[in-house]
Amino acid sequence: MRQAGAAATHGSVQSIFERNAARMRYPKFRQQHLFVGSGVIEAGCKTIIGSRTKQSGMFWTARGANAIITLRCCQLNHRFEDYREARRA
């Protein structure tokens, strides 16, 4: 039984790699100085989202949190004017 389960797991993992091979061009991405790990994304989320929405005593609705996260991202990317223009239209 254990071997059959291991073989099935191996088959499904292999299938995942085969289906996603086009997305896993890590050498090419590294040549372009792109990040291929999740650490940078996780740190960005912690900086942008966590530092703004998880302060002492804060409670957010999903709508309110999404709104403040959008504003925070626009501010940090120097695209606040783009956000304001989009809201006016």
- Position 2 scores a pLDDT of 54
Nearest of 43, 51, 44, 85 to residue 68 by alpha carbon: 51
DSSP 26-69: HHHHHHTT---SSHHHHHHHIIIIIHHHSSTT----HHHHHHHH
Sign of CA dihedral 38, 43, 44, 49: positive
- Position 4 scores a pLDDT of 56
Look up residue 24 and give its DSSP letter. Answer: -
Q: How confident is the model at residue 52 (pLDDT cuts 50, 70, 90)?
A: confident
Tell me the per-residue pLDDT of 56-76, one tens digit each, with 9 for 90 and over: 888 899 999 998 888 888 888
* Domain boundaries of the chain, sorted by first residue: 1-35, 37-89
